[in-house]
Amino acid sequence: MEIDAVLDSAVAAGMAQTMAAGAQYCDVRCYSEDASENLLLYDGNLEQNAAELESGLGVRVLCGGAWGFAATSRVREAPQAFVRALANARTAAALVGVPLDMGRCPPVSGAYRSPVGRDPLDVPLAEKLDFLRRLDARLAAPFVQHRLIRLQLQRMTNRFWNSEGSRIDRQLTNCFATLMVMGLDQDHRMQRRSHELWTSGRGTRGWEMVLEPALWSGRAEQVTEELGQLLQAPVVEHRRRSVILLPGQGFLQVHETIGHPLELDRILGYELSFAGGSFVTLESFGRLQYGSEKLTVSAFGGIENSPGSFGYDDEGTPERDYLLIDRGLLVNCLSSRAMINEANQRAGRRLFAASGGASRATAFYRAPIDRMTNVNIVPGTDGTLDQIVAATEDGLILDCPTSWSIGSNREHFHFGCEIAWEVRDGQIARVLRNPTYQGHTLEFYRSLSAVGDASTWRVQQVPNCGKGEPNQIMEIGHGVPVLRFDDVLTGERS
């Protein structure tokens, strides 16, 4: 499907009619291509060799202070989608407590393309499979029971229009990759060790990223070796101590207990029936000491190589770089235009100056909601991982989530990880298996006692953040250094 002059005209006409019929605002997203490839090599067998192509159009209309949305995969039915979206908004307007308001923004014309050296979907399938086959051979070892390699490659091309005159073309490209080995431990329980494709934040995000050994495939032998150690390791004991989160675990801690609680729609109560609320309130901003002074968190849409970078969000706001938490103090949130206006109205003052540019939709058939962009912890001054370990008396180094469970208001959490290294008196003593830890968000971040320098910082890619009704999956990124927290409850009661 092409976004051509005919469709452009149809959209312009549809928006004009919708606005003439009394709408306050209207936007349209047309996806000419939302393509993906999913390859899964399991024990050397190509168990998934799947491609997908979606195309269609979604129309969002604000009328009477309420949203209506309609989507169709039959683009020739675009005029009906405008009619349906407006009708939906009018129906919704019958039950409005606080009318939604987008405010006014100047029109934006622009374009964004993810920086790509070689488009991953243009690489011949045979070439990709050959690469995976060679990588798979490197995962074999006598104690390895199962080997898994997964590639998820995405390219989305769309055009955005809104009734303020904005028109934005985007092409977003993502490469996600996982390698994993599994083996039976001394109790005949399956253990696993894995590595996800990460980025430095710099560079391009095409097929070349997958091929770069330092980012992914170069870890194959190390992951296998660490599995071998895990299979012989004792179980983590249930007690309090420090935890040192490597970026492979720290990203999820940040995602679940900083990112989600700071989404403004959650804070305002719009996610209560499914994803949950937030312990953060509008009164918290500028007042709540979220963490220790070592904690500074940014929302930075402009990391050049991250799935959380997209140029413009799904209501046309250009990506932004701003702080969410400044030396422990909560100062801002992840937001969209209507949510900002509602928050300021409820607060009775200008609490937030502008949208955070975080209004995103997973596909043409979903309406945008407040999401994360790149939520990052700013590197600190506590040195390298070795230096942080050397300054730790009693702790665990933790990596790679196996499980995550968070309270509905994001107050408390429980995480399971693949592997732990015990630290005693500044030295790594041994590997431990079945690590878990739990805590309460504010208490946990206030115990942040060390933040690694820039050498420890890396961007973890998240391909599967779930939220919203109808449910939506979103791709985002987190730049995180090594982090140490003190007095954390680890392990499970025997």
Partner 1 sequence: MLDSQTRDSILHVRDEAIRRGIHAFFTLHREKSHLLRIGNNSVSLNTSEDLTRLDVEVLAGRRQSAYTLMGDIDGPATVRAALERAVAQTAVAMPKDYEPIEPAVAASIAEQPQYDPALEALDPAAKVETYERIMAALGRSYNYSGSWSSGSLELFLAGTASPATAWHLGTDQHFTCVLKHPDERWELAIQQTGWRADQVAAQPAIAELGALLPVYARPGWRVAPGEYAVAFGPQAIGELLGLAMWTGFMGRGYEEKLGWTAGRQLGERILSEQVTVIDDPADAQTFRFGFDGAGLTRRRFPLIQAGTLAGLAYDLATAARYGRQPTPHAGSWSLVMAPGSGPADVGDAAGGLERVLYIPALHYLNVPNRSQGIFTGSSRFNAVLLENGTATRPIFSTRITDTFAKVFGNIEALSSRPVPVNLSSTYGRRQPEGASVPAYMLCSKVSVTDCADSF
Out of 76, 118, 134, 202, the only residue in the binding site for partner 1 (CB under 8 A) is 76
16 vs 50 by CB, closer to partner 1: 50
Tell me, residue by residue from 241 to 280, as one string, x for binding to partner 1 by CB under 8 A and - for no binding.
------------------------x--xxxxxxx-xx-x-
Out of 8, 17, 19, 77, the only residue in the binding site for partner 1 (CB under 8 A) is 77
Our finding on whether 178 is near partner 1 (CB under 8 A) is: no
Q: How far is the CB of 274 from partner 1 (least distance, A)?
A: 7
Smaller CB separation from partner 1, 411 or 453 = 411
91 scored as a contact of partner 1 (CB under 8 A): yes
Rounded to the nearest whole angstrom, what is the least distance from the CB of residue 211 to partner 1 in the complex?
19
Among residues 70, 73, 50, 72, which one has the least CA distance to residue 60?
70
The yes or no reply on residue 79 touching partner 1 (CB under 8 A) is no
- Quote the least distance from Cβ 99 to partner 1, whole Å: 8
95 near partner 1, rule: CB under 8 A: yes
Site for partner 1 contains 73 (CB under 8 A): yes
Pick 455 or 471: Cβ nearer partner 1? 471
Measured in residues, the chain has a length of 494
Other beta carbons within 10 angstroms of residue 416's beta carbon come to: 17
The answer to the question of residue 404 lying near partner 1 (CB under 8 A) is yes
> Site map for partner 1, 30-69, x if CB under 8 A?
--------------xxxxxxxxxxxxx--------xxxxx
Given a contact cutoff of 8 angstroms between Cβ atoms, the answer to whether 36 and 175 are in contact is no
Measured from the CB of residue 269, what is the shortest distance to partner 1 in angstroms?
Answer: 5
Stretch that binds partner 1, among 8-16, 18-26, 375-383, 468-476 (CB under 8 A): 468-476
Q: Please state whether beta strands 394-406 and 239-245 pair in parallel, antiparallel, or not at all (unpaired).
A: parallel
**Stretch binding partner 1 (CB under 8 A), from 153-161, 197-205, 225-233, 411-419:** 411-419
Question: What order do you get walking across the sheet with 458-467 strand by strand?
Answer: 198-199, 458-467, 472-480
Q: How far is the CB of 377 from partner 1 (least distance, A)?
A: 23
Query: Does 92 participate in binding partner 1 (rule CB under 8 A)?
Result: yes
* Closest CB to partner 1 among residues 330, 378: 330
By beta-carbon proximity to partner 1, the closer residue of 9 and 91 is 91
Residue of the chain from 152, 355, 434, 460 that contacts partner 1 (CB under 8 A): 434
Size of the residue set binding partner 1 (CB under 8 A): 89
Residue of 480, 119, 67 lying closest to 308 (CA atoms): 480
Contacts to partner 1 from residues 115-154, by CB under 8 A: 124-126, 129, 133, 145-146
Task: Enumerate residues 202-221 that contact partner 1 by CB under 8 A.
Answer: none
CA–CA distance, 424 with 48 (Å, rounded to integer) = 44
* Greatest CA separation for the chain: 72
The CB-of-438 to partner 1 minimum distance in angstroms stands at: 6
Q: How far is the CB of 429 from partner 1 (least distance, A)?
A: 23
Nearer to partner 1, 95 or 214 (CB): 95
Nearer to partner 1, 406 or 419 (CB): 406
> Residue 45 CB, nearest distance to partner 1 (Å)?
5
- Judged by CB under 8 A, the residue of 21, 323, 412, 428 near partner 1 is 412
- Site map (CB under 8 A) of partner 1, residues 305-334, x = contact: ------------------------------
C-beta of 133 vs 424, nearer to partner 1: 133
87-95: Cβ within 8 A, 24+ apart? 88/61, 89/23, 89/61, 89/62, 89/63, 89/64, 90/63, 90/64, 92/64, 92/66, 92/67, 92/68, 93/63, 93/64, 93/65, 93/66, 95/66
Task: Return the number of the residue (249 or 296) whose C-beta is nearest partner 1.
Answer: 249
- In the set 6, 13, 96, 354, which binds partner 1 (CB under 8 A)? 96
Query: In this structure, what token pair is assigned to residue 166?
Result: 């904005």
Stretch that binds partner 1, among 89-97, 243-251, 319-327, 371-379 (CB under 8 A): 89-97
Smallest gap, in angstroms, from Cβ of residue 451 to partner 1? 26
Binding to partner 1 (CB under 8 A) within 440-459 occurs at 440
